[in-house]
Structure 1
Amino acid sequence: MRFAKSGDGDFIQRMIHHKFHGFVHSTFNRTLNIQCLDSGDLYTIACKGIDNAPNTLIIDLDRFEEADIVVNDIVSSDHSILTIANKMSITMDGAMEWNCVLPIYPAETDVLEMNVSTMKQYINLHGNNSRIERAFKSDNPFDDEMSKMLNERTQLLVLELQNKRMSTAITHATSLIGLGPGLTPAGDDFLVGLFTVFNIENNRYFSHKSFCEEVVLHAKALTNDISYMALAKAAIGQVRESISELMEALFRGSEEELLLALGRVLAIGSTSGTDIALGIVAGLEMNM
């Protein structure tokens, strides 16, 4: 029996009060995704050390390799216990519930403006090879063209948003979905960061946050299931704990607090964290 350490509050409550029927969608060293047969939504079971996130449960395990869990294994729940085939059972007893709550945009922006400047400098020095802001040519013409497209399309999107031309902004945002290599493409990651800012209460674009959900309406057919769920959740202000902590540090934190929080976001995936951070910077600069 494995124990859930913490997790998305709605996910835990669903496991406790309702039956879950689904199957294993995809497996990785430290996470596995399960798909609900009722809703089609993806849920994630993650190992120790991974931060809380929407639809995610953190369990007392270091890696999944020895569990021999494979795609299409049957997943079900009963009486607070989630069972994956006959290979693993996870109890919700004692699990700490986490819910994403984004901070409110500050009335005074002196700290924010200084922190955004610091964040941009740090990303330039320590960001993980983002194709959105790649300033060099590689030996791979395809990669170079992809970087050029990502750069141009993100700039066009920001320009339309700055001018509050929301219908054309939706078109440019949609053109980013699925663009770039990796499990979560760079264009999707940038939008996750941008959507986060749109859902911050009291920011200039909060009244236009429906933009995010309108973009997601086009996303299902344009990207993979895992990335789609991240976009759909971000569109309603539901993001990883490390991202919400970064927003808090940007608004009110010291430089040390900012860099600690930023480092945790940049560590997401191979380049995903950097691309998410660039989306956050773009959204905040539009406000400033």
Structure 2
Amino acid sequence: MINAISGDSDFIKEINNSKFTGFVHSTFNRTFNIKCFENGDLFTIACRKLDNGPNTLIVNADNMKSQKIEVNDPVRVEKNLLFIGEKLTISIDKVDLWESVLPPYPSNEEILKRNVIKMKEYLNVHGVGGGMKKSVLTKNPFEAEVSNMLEKRTILLLNELLNHRISTALPHAVSLVGLGPGLTPSGDDFLTGLFTIFNMKNSPFYPYRSFCEDVLKKARTLTNDISYMTLKKAANGKVRDSIIALLNSILVEDDQDLILSLNKLLNIGSSSGTDIAYGIVFGMEATIRAGGKVC
């Protein structure tokens, strides 16, 4: 048996209610995902080296490989214990509850404007290429073409948002779903960052956050289960802790904290952190330049 350290409050509630059953959907070195029979959502068990996130339980283990969890292993709950077949039992007796809470959009944008510029400059130097950031040297013509498509489609999306045309921005956002390298494709990671900005209260785009749901409705068959689940949560303003920490850093005048938070995000996946960060920058720039006039 291992203990859960912290976990998403909604996930903990499901376990406490003893109504959670499913099977192992996918396994990785530091995580494995569970497909829930009750609602069809994916839930993640992650080692202590990772940050909190929606539908995620952080457990007191260095990695998941040693647990020998396999795809299709049955999952059930009994008396506040989560059983993964006969291989692993997870106790939530001492778990710390975590919730995804985004900071509100600031009334004064001056600090935000300066930090977005700093963030963009840092990404241009330290961001991982191959996704939203073009690689200096592409491996093959296909990679170069995907990179060009990502660039062109984000430009089209930005143009519609800046011209206050939310409805006509929709097909350009949908065109990014499933596009690019990675387990979570670059276009999806970018949209995760963008959706986060739409869900910040007081943002000019906040009244139009149904845009995120509209994209999601068309995304189900365009990407994989894991990436879709991330988009589904982000569409409702539910994102991992490292993203929230970066948003908080962007809103205050503290360069050291900004760079520290940004580096933590950049360490996610191969290019996922960079792609999410570009989505946040894109969303912030669009919000600032939209001037509150959106239709």
Equivalent residue, structure 2, for 1:211? 211
**Which amino acid is 1:264 matched to?**
K
Q: Is the 8 A contact 2:127 2:133 kept in 1?
A: no
Change (3 A) 1:202 1:93: same
| Aligned equivalents of 2:114, 2:161: Cα separation in 1 | 23
Query: Which residue number corresponds to residue 267 of structure 1?
Result: 267
What TM-score, normalized to structure 1?
Answer: 0.98
2:81 equivalent in structure 1: 81
Name the amino acid aligned to 2:108. E
CA distance in 1, matches of 2:130, 2:139: 16
Going from structure 1 to structure 2, the CA distance change for 1:41 and 1:139 (only over 3 Å counts) comes to closer
Say whether the 8 Å CA contact 1:130–1:274 is kept in structure 2: no
> 52-61 or 154-163, which moves further after superposition?
154-163
- Give the Cα separation in 1 of the matches to 2:162 and 2:72: 45
The more displaced of 213-222 and 136-145 is 136-145
Q: What SS does structure 2 have at the residue aligned with 1:125?
A: helix
| Contact in 2 for aligned 1:130/1:275 (Cα 8 Å) | no
Runs of 4+ aligned residues of structure 1 deviating over 4 Å after TM superposition are none
Deviations 1:93-121 (A, max 9, x none): 01000001100111111211111111011
Partner of 1:54: 54
**Structure 1 contact 6–97 (Cα < 8 Å) conserved:** yes
* Counterpart residue type for residue 283 of structure 1: G
Distance across 2 between alignment mates of 1:10 and 1:232: 15
What amino acid maps onto 1:12 in structure 2?
A: I
Alignment of 1:127-206 (within 5 A): 127-134=127-134, 136-206=136-206
Distance 2:87 2:135 in 1: 47
Change in CA separation of 1:139 and 1:68 when aligned onto 2, cut-off 3 Å: closer
The AA in structure 2 aligned to 1:286 is A
Q: Following the alignment from structure 1 to structure 2, what is the Cα–Cα distance between the partners of residues 60 and 206?
A: 37
The one-character-per-residue Cα deviations of 1:225-259 (angstroms, maximum 9, x if unpaired) are 00000000000000000001100100124011100
Q: How much is the aligned-residue C-alpha RMSD, in angstroms?
A: 1.0
5 Å-filtered alignment, 1:110-129, equals 110-129=110-129
Q: Distance in 2 between matches of 1:135 and 1:263?
A: 19
For normalisation by structure 2, the TM-score amounts to 0.96
Structure 2: gaps of 5 or more residues: 289-295
Q: Which residue of 2 aligns with 1:38?
A: 38
On the 8 A contact 2:129/2:136 being kept in 1, the answer is: no
Displacement of 1:169 after TM fit? 0.9
How many angstroms does 1:138 deviate by? 1.9
Question: Who is 2:257 aligned against?
Answer: 257
Q: Secondary structure of 1:176's match?
A: coil
- Per-residue displacement from partner, 1:74-97 (whole Å, max 9, x unpaired)? 000111100000000001101000
- Deviations along 1:173-215, whole A, 9 cap, x unmatched? 1110000121000000000000000000111111111000110
Aligned to 2:292: none
Q: Percent identity?
A: 51
Q: Distance in 1 between matches of 2:239 and 2:150?
A: 22
Report if aligned partners of 1:137, 1:144 keep a CA contact under 8 Å in 2.
no
2:100 matches 1:100? yes
Amino acid at match of 1:15: I
- Structure 2 CA distance for aligned equivalents of residues 115 and 211 of structure 1: 26
Count the aligned residue pairs. Answer: 288
Distance between the aligned counterparts of 1:235 and 1:253, measured in 2?
28
Q: Is the 8 A contact 2:203 2:287 kept in 1?
A: yes
Q: Counterpart of 1:27?
A: 27
Alpha-carbon spacing, 1:139–1:20, altered in 2? closer, same or farther (3 Å): closer
